[in-house]
Amino acid sequence: MMPTRRELYNRAAHDFNTLLRNIISSFQQKPSCVHDRIFGILALALKIKAKRRRVVIALRMAGIAGQEKLAGIFRRLGTDHNWDITLLRTVQEITPDSMRSALLNGCDGFIVSIPLSKSASSLSARTDAYGVLAAADVPTVVLDIHDPSLAFRKRNIVFVRNSPEEIGHAAADHLIATGRCRSYAFVHNPAVVEWSVERYRAFRETLADHNLWCHELDSPSQIRKLTRPVGVCAANDDCGYEVLEWCRAHRMRVPEDALVVGINNDTLICENCRPRLTSVQPDFEQEGYIAADALSKLMARHMDKKNRFQENREILVGVKEIVRRESTAETSPSGKLVQRAVAYIRRNATKGIGAADVARHLGCSRRLADLRFRELQGTSIGEMLIVTRLEEVKHLLRSTKEPIDTIAAACGFANPNYLKNLFKKRFGMTMRDYRKSL
């Protein structure tokens, strides 16, 4: 069983006292050895008392995201850590004076995760506060926020944030897998901030890989013009709540007419919507863990200049899960049939299956399977098989150096020449040219 830090400390203190008695004795007998003993004492003293780290953590605790990030920070530190933490919970606590005070008091590191206020009255104060921090050379981890002052700092800074690409991909894949959406839309956060745009791009690109179009909306009211059922990805859960409220006020049924996915899985919002909101959950706890780990390494490199931690300036953290609720739940027998078909196609398209195999899996006639698929997907089973295979072809062209004939066989195309002609017809370039363009 590993000894605790307290036990190690007590042992070291005992060794220190023993060494001190020995040095007194040596001084009386052999003064020439005093210097060597003094160096021994100093080295041991450094081991006995590890330096306590003064750390400021600016983290909004009102929502689930901040609470999980803090849990991740403490998971990284463990129960017996050497951080003395000052926790700032609100925007009002982040002022130029509070930053200067922390620096003057010898703060060793910062983790900041409270976004800037956008109101005109507080913009200058907030910018100055982060400007004070940006001008200092103190180790800093910026967690899920974008600040111009901090972005220009070159040293001793790491940016940790959730991956907008993985979030957008997860939301699109979930809506596609329902097998019911005839059109798709992304509804921005009212401020149309950078992270909202990045999530939209990833959502749009995933749909494009399936030959599906994405409508970019600034307001839920624009949903009324789209073909139903419409799959809606909201920029975050607040925005998803507004979409559901608009649908309820205008008698658009959810999930029959609109399937809605939020982002962040803020349970206070998601569990109290009507219907409850499906949401993509970023791995906030892992973000906190990585932020604490990065800050520990940044602070340690000041103590060990020969083995400095080379920080990765930006670290992206993926999606933990999609929490499925009633806003995307299946209700009709036809919808459930198509959902099963889509799931089967996505699992087996590259194995060379055909529409007859899909119908056989569903336990119905091919004619009925095609009819229901066209009703809810607006396309045929055969077309979805082709789109899914081409998606895998593009993935292999991007990620491997395999010959084109090998890729054709791996993606369910028995004839490589057919794939070459199909690829050029669909994407306007040869497979070889597509690979060179990457």
Please state, as a whole number, how many other Cβ atoms lie within 10 Å of the Cβ of residue 436.
10
Name the residue among 368, 367, 346, 366 with its Cα closest to residue 357: 366
Higher per-residue confidence, 234 vs 131? 234
- Determine what percent of the chain is predicted with pLDDT higher than 90: 54
Predicted pLDDT of residue 34 = 46
Q: What are the tens digits of pLDDT across the range 347-373? A: 899 998 999 999 999 999 999 988 888
Compute the average pLDDT of residues 272-297.
94
Burial code of 360-375, b = ≥16 C-beta within 10 A, e = fewer? ebbeeebeebbebbee
Q: Which H or E element spans position 9?
A: helix 5-29
Mean pLDDT of the chain: 84
Is the pLDDT at 86 greater than 70? The verdict is yes
The letter for the amino acid at 105 is N
Predicted pLDDT of residue 43 = 43
Determine the Cα–Cα distance for residues 285 and 61; give it in Å rounded to an integer. Answer: 13
Determine the Cα–Cα distance for residues 355 and 369; give it in Å rounded to an integer. Answer: 9
Alpha helices (runs of H) in 32-115, residue ranges in sequence order: 34-48, 64-77, 96-104
Q: How confident is the model at residue 139 (pLDDT cuts 50, 70, 90)?
A: very high
Alpha helices (runs of H) in 164-319, residue ranges in sequence order: 164-177, 194-209, 237-249, 267-270, 284-300
Which residues, other chains included, contact 213 with Cβ-Cβ below 8 Å and sequence gap of 6+?
A: 183, 184, 207
Predicted pLDDT of residue 25 = 60
Asked if 381 and 369 touch (Cβ cutoff 8 Å), the reply is yes
The letter for the amino acid at 58 is A
Q: How confident is the model at residue 329 (pLDDT cuts 50, 70, 90)?
A: confident
275 preceded by cis ω (within 30°)? yes
Asked if 250 and 220 touch (Cβ cutoff 8 Å), the reply is no
Please state whether beta strands 319-323 and 278-282 pair in parallel, antiparallel, or not at all (unpaired).
antiparallel
CA of residue 63 relative to chain centroid, distance = 16
Q: What are the tens digits of pLDDT across the range 56-69? A: 999 988 778 899 99
Asked if 196 and 168 touch (Cβ cutoff 8 Å), the reply is no
Please state, as a whole number, how many other Cβ atoms lie within 10 Å of the Cβ of residue 303.
10
Predicted pLDDT of residue 302 = 56
315 token code pair = 């670290």
Of 164-178, 297-311, 350-364, where does mean pLDDT reach its minimum? 297-311
Is the pLDDT at 119 greater than 80? The verdict is no
Is the pLDDT at 6 greater than 70? The verdict is no
How buried is residue 48: exposed, middle or buried, by Cβ count under 10 Å (0-12/13-18/19+)?
A: middle
Which residues, other chains included, contact 29 with Cβ-Cβ below 8 Å and sequence gap of 6+?
A: none
Compute the average pLDDT of residues 111-130.
65
DSSP letter for 105, please. Answer: T
Q: What are the tens digits of pLDDT across the range 197-240? A: 999 999 999 999 888 999 999 999 999 999 999 999 999 999 99
Is the pLDDT at 123 greater than 50? The verdict is no
DSSP letter for 365, please. Answer: -
Q: What are the tens digits of pLDDT across the range 415-431? A: 999 999 999 998 889 99
Q: How confident is the model at residue 241 (pLDDT cuts 50, 70, 90)?
A: very high
Is the pLDDT at 155 greater than 90? The verdict is no
Is the pLDDT at 405 greater than 60? The verdict is yes
Burial code of 104-114, b = ≥16 C-beta within 10 A, e = fewer? eeebbbbbbbb
Is the pLDDT at 122 greater than 50? The verdict is no
Higher per-residue confidence, 318 vs 373? 318
Which residues, other chains included, contact 131 with Cβ-Cβ below 8 Å and sequence gap of 6+?
A: 96, 149
- Length of the chain as a residue count: 438
Handedness of CA 229, 276, 336, 204 (dihedral sign): positive
Of 36-40, 135-139, 165-169, 311-315, where does mean pLDDT reach its minimum? 36-40
Is the pLDDT at 174 greater than 60? The verdict is yes
How buried is residue 335: exposed, middle or buried, by Cβ count under 10 Å (0-12/13-18/19+)?
A: buried
Predicted pLDDT of residue 160 = 96
Higher per-residue confidence, 47 vs 127? 127
